[in-house]
Amino acid sequence: KNLEVIAAIDGLPADKAGVKAKDIITNINGQSTSGMSVDEAVGKIRGPKGTKVKLGIVRDRSEQLNFDITREDIKLPSVKTKIIDGNIGYLQITTFSDDTAKLVNDAANDFKSKGVKAMIVDVRSNPGGLLDSAVSVSDLWLGQGQTILQEKRGNEVVKTYTAQEGGIFSGLPTVVLIDGGSASASEILAGALRDNNSAYLIGEKSYGKGVVQQLINFGNGSQLKVTVASWFRPNGQNINKKGITPDKVIKISDEDAKADKDTQLQSAQDYLKSKIAQ
């Protein structure tokens, strides 16, 4: 099993070094990752602030790259907000942690008090996190009883997650930005809003991680990770290994990236301005 990067989070050491979603980590400080568990790899990649770790990477199955990454203390705010041109609320969620739902709720109340006319939710390069956090955030756009996701074992639905009450953003024109680094909880949010006609998706196809996994510990210290259930979108589609294709596919070219030109965000603004004008 390859060690594959889900997302290099914006502005952090791996991203600054040039690591990208779907890169395969083949060695860490010269040691092959063949047969290495994710936890073991994480232990080798982490280290004291200011020290370096060398990663060997294979990109697009052919290109071999090496990165020297300087470690930093990472204190990651899971939510960033601002109001952009056209009185559009911009909400970037970098991970779904235990404080995300509260931070998004606080932002929602702030946006409402300022009378925003539309919303952009940016979950690009968001590798996921807590399921309950994604469900709570989805709730802000949905009406009571609308399906957020289903958890299935085989063909049997073991749990259905539904919206609890009318959301503060219900009916507000919304774009969700996704890309190849949007995974797991990010895909739950994007799928829930899209399938309930509460958002339009722009960007690139998401990663495709939609399974519930459980660790079984053995007496000899070994572990077995077992997939016990899968996540399905409200429209009945499985997320795992399929991902979510946006309504409008836009790729950021290398030239645009170097020029710091965010064509996906610009497309979202253009789409929402046309909606507001209607």
Which pLDDT score, from 0 to 100, does residue 41 have?
92
Banded model confidence at residue 177, pLDDT cuts 50, 70, 90: very high
Q: What would the mean pLDDT of 188-199 be, rounded to a whole number? A: 97
Task: Say how many CA atoms lie within 13 Å of 229 toward its Cβ.
Answer: 13
Give the model confidence (pLDDT) of 75-121 as tens digits. 777 899 999 998 999 999 999 998 999 999 999 999 999 999 999 99
Question: Which positions are annotated as active-site residues?
Answer: 184, 195, 209
pLDDT at 66 over 90: yes
DSSP H/E element including 231: strand 223-232
Percent of the chain with pLDDT strictly greater than 90: 73
- Which tokens belong to 181? 């680094």
Which pLDDT score, from 0 to 100, does residue 211 have?
85
Question: Which residue do the tokens 């603004």 mark?
Answer: 269
Give the model confidence (pLDDT) of 248-278 as tens digits. 999 998 899 888 899 999 999 999 999 998 8
SS3 96: strand
**pTM score of the predicted model:** 0.81
Give the model confidence (pLDDT) of 138-160 as tens digits. 999 999 999 999 999 888 999 99
| 158 strand-pairing partners | none
Of residues 7, 23, 10, the one with CA closest to residue 55: 23
